[in-house]
Amino acid sequence: MSEQPANTNPPSAPSEFPQAEIRAAENTWWRRAATGHLWWLTAACVILAVYLIVSAVRARGPEIAIHFQQGHGIKPGDLLRHRGIAIGEVTTVELDKDLTGITVRVAMEPRAVGLARAGSRFWIVRPRISLGRVSGLETVVGAKYIGVLPGPPDAEKQVEFAGAESPLMMLDTEVVDITIRFRQGYGLSVGDPIKYRGIAVGEVTAVELNDDQNGVDVAVRLLANASRMARVGSQFWVARPDIDLTGIRGLETVVSGRYIAVLPRPDETEPLTLFHGLDSAPPSSEREPGGLEIVLYTPHRGGLQRGVPVMYRGIRIGHVMTAGLSSDATTVEARAYIQPAYRELVHEKTVFWNQTGIDFHFGVTGVDFKADSLSSVALGAVAMATPDSPGQRVTTGHRFSYHAEAKDEWLTWQPSIPVGSALLPEGMSLPQPLRATLLWQERTLGIKRDQEKLGWVLPLADNRIIGPTDLLTPSTDAVEESTTLEVAGQKLTITADTTNTYGALAEIGVDKPFSTAWPIDRLRAPTAIEECLIVGATQEDRIPLPAARLAAEEGGWKIDPSLPINPDWHGASVLAVSDGKLIGVLTFNQAVAQVTPLTEELVFNDR
Amino acid sequence: MNSYRACHCCGLIHSLPDLVAGQVAACTRCRATICRAGNERRSAQRTAAAALGAFVLFWPAIFLPILEIEKLGHHHESSLIGGIIELFAHGNFFVGGIVLLFSVIFPLTKIVMLLELSLLELMHRKHKAVTYRIMETAGKWSMMDVLLLAFLVMLVKLGSLVEFHFGPAVFAFVACVAMSMLASLSFDPYEIWEVTDE
Instruction: For residue A18, give how far its alpha carbon lies from the nearest alpha carbon of chain B (Å).
Output: 5
Q: In degrees to the nearest 10, what's the CA dihedral of A418, A419, A422, A426? A: 70
> Nearest by CB to B42, which of A24, A35, A56?
A35
| HEC profile of A439-474 | EEEEEECCEEEEEEEEEEEEEECCCEEEEEHHHHCC
Residues 6+ apart with CB under 8 A from B183: B46, B47, B50, B51, B54, B111, B114, B118
Q: In degrees to the nearest 10, what's the CA dihedral of A209, A212, A218, A224? A: -150
* Alpha-carbon gap, residue A560 to A539, rounded angstroms: 23
Whether residue B40 and residue A53 make contact (CB cut-off 8 A), yes or no, is no
**Among candidates B53, B194, B189, which has minimal Cα distance to B132?**
B189
Whether residue A17 and residue B22 make contact (CB cut-off 8 A), yes or no, is no
Reported ipTM: 0.81
Residues 6+ apart with CB under 8 A from A389: A349, A415
* Alpha-carbon gap, residue A511 to A491, rounded angstroms: 11
* Alpha-carbon gap, residue A333 to B161, rounded angstroms: 77
Q: Tens digits of per-residue pLDDT, A5-50?
A: 444 444 454 556 777 778 777 777 777 777 777 788 889 989 998 9
Q: How far is CA A330 from CA A127, A297, A323, A402, in A?
A: 60, 10, 14, 14
* Alpha-carbon gap, residue A587 to B30, rounded angstroms: 116
- This prediction's pTM: 0.43
Considering only residues 101 to 160 of chain B, which have any Cβ-Cβ distance to chain A shorter than 8 Å?
none
For B188, name the nearest residue in chain A, comparing CA atoms only.
A35
In contact, A427 and A434? CB cutoff 8 Å: no
Interface test with B, best of A42, A47, A53, A54 (most B CBs within 10 A): A42
* Alpha-carbon gap, residue A588 to A565, rounded angstroms: 10
**Among candidates A272, A275, A334, which has minimal Cα distance to A309?**
A334
In contact, A494 and A484? CB cutoff 8 Å: yes
In contact, A242 and A250? CB cutoff 8 Å: yes
Beta-bridge mates of residue A550: A559
Q: Tens digits of per-residue pLDDT, B51-105?
A: 889 999 999 888 888 877 776 656 677 788 888 888 898 888 888 898 888 888 8
Residues 6+ apart with CB under 8 A from A340: A288, A289, A290, A291, A292, A422, A426
Instruction: For residue B49, give how far its alpha carbon lies from the nearest alpha carbon of chain A (Å).
Output: 5
Backbone angles phi, psi at A406, to 5 degrees: -85, 145
Which residues of chain B carry a pLDDT beneath 70?
1-2, 37-41, 71-75, 120-126, 158-162, 192-198
Residues 6+ apart with CB under 8 A from A6: A14, B2, B3, B4, B15
**Among candidates A386, A385, A355, which has minimal Cα distance to A371?**
A355
In contact, A7 and A1? CB cutoff 8 Å: no
In contact, A258 and A187? CB cutoff 8 Å: yes
Strand A315-325 with A79-82, pairing: unpaired
Q: Tens digits of per-residue pLDDT, A424-479?
A: 665 667 788 888 888 888 777 777 777 788 888 888 888 888 888 888 887 777 77
Q: Tens digits of per-residue pLDDT, A188-247?
A: 877 788 888 778 788 887 888 888 888 888 888 887 777 777 877 788 888 776 655 555
Whether residue B2 and residue A4 make contact (CB cut-off 8 A), yes or no, is yes
In contact, A360 and A257? CB cutoff 8 Å: no
Chain A partners within 8 Å of B60 (Cβ):
49, 52-53, 56
